[in-house]
Amino acid sequence: AQTVTQSQPEMSVQEAETVTLSCTYDTSESDYYLFWYKQPPSRQMILVIRQEAYKQQNATENRFSVNFQKAAKSFSLKISDSQLGDAAMYFCALTPAVSQGAQKLVFGQGTRLTINP
Amino acid sequence: DTAVSQTPKYLVTQMGNDKSIKCEQNLGHDTMYWYKQDSKKFLKIMFSYNNKELIINETVPNRFSPKSPDKAHLNLHINSLELGDSAVYFCASSNRDRAGEQFFGPGTRLTVL
């Protein structure tokens, strides 16, 4: 079984500053994928960033980057130069890699991020 | 250009009724999913279909019945609705090429009175 834990229910940051959202996980799988999804008030789930567990290099997407610590089972999201549009619920998620068929995402509880102007 | 669409976006109904939510994806993906997001925002998978075949069936009451007429569609029918069924239901799809990455629909907010 897989579990994902986000220990920060809420975070806030000043516009233009940097914030880090924490995520830890547990899995017995040797190969898996980790994700951060963003859910703004519109409730649309938007993929922010994706990390393949067998890749040691941390994924980056523009202002978003992760710190992936495989041994510690930690996967934090860093948002640089925070913008008002970054305000949303952020969900960390994990899925085991399977050769074919469905891969179920296991989500954390979410972190609500507020951006202060 | 909508990738994953759901209808309706909002559904308000009485306890005991039967209702359906429809999902369509135009991404050419071969796997589709239903997730439930409860009032505390917790998201959990319910079902998954791969090429019209049921692959994942979490411990969901059998009042919930998914149906996949073809690869591009996955509908969710709910019988005898209960108050606890009130939630947001998300449809998603994925493909082998980008393993693990799922594209979500806009969600359907179901309210049972």
pLDDT at B60: 87
Are A33 and B100 contacting, i.e. CB atoms less than 8 angstroms apart? Answer: yes
Residue A117 lies in a domain: no
Tens-digit pLDDT profile for residues B28-44: 998 999 999 999 999 99
pLDDT at A22: 98
What is the domain-level CATH number for residue B14?
2.60.40.10
Residue A39 lies in a domain: yes
How many domains would you assign to chain A? Answer: 1
Provide the residue-wise pLDDT of chain A in tens; the chain has 117 residues: 889 999 999 999 999 999 999 999 999 888 899 999 999 999 999 999 999 998 889 999 999 999 999 999 999 999 999 999 999 999 999 998 875 666 789 999 999 999 999
What are the two backbone dihedrals, phi and then psi, of residue A86, each rounded to the nearest 5 degrees? -80, -10
**What does the pLDDT average to over B56-61?**
85
What is the domain-level CATH number for residue A63?
2.60.40.10
Cα Rg for chain A, rounded, in angstroms?
14
**Is pLDDT at B1 greater than 70 in this prediction?**
no
Are A113 and A11 contacting, i.e. CB atoms less than 8 angstroms apart? Answer: yes
| Residues of chain B that touch chain A, judged by Cβ-Cβ distance less than 8 Å | 31, 33, 35, 40-45, 48-50, 55-56, 58, 88, 90, 92, 94, 96, 99-104, 106-107, 109
How many domains would you assign to chain B? Answer: 1
Cα Rg for chain B, rounded, in angstroms?
13
Q: Measured between CA atoms, how close is B101 to chain A, in angstroms? A: 8
Q: Measured between CA atoms, how close is A14 to chain B, in angstroms? A: 24
What DSSP string runs through A69-89? ETTTTEEEEEE-S--GGG-EE
**Is pLDDT at B99 greater than 70 in this prediction?**
no
A102/B40 touch (CB, cutoff 8 Å), yes or no: no
CB-nearest partner of A50 from B33, B49, B101: B101
- Residue B13 CB: number of other CB atoms within 10 A? 16
Q: Which domain holds residue B32?
A: 4-112
pLDDT at A101: 62
Q: Which domain holds residue A28?
A: 3-98+107-112
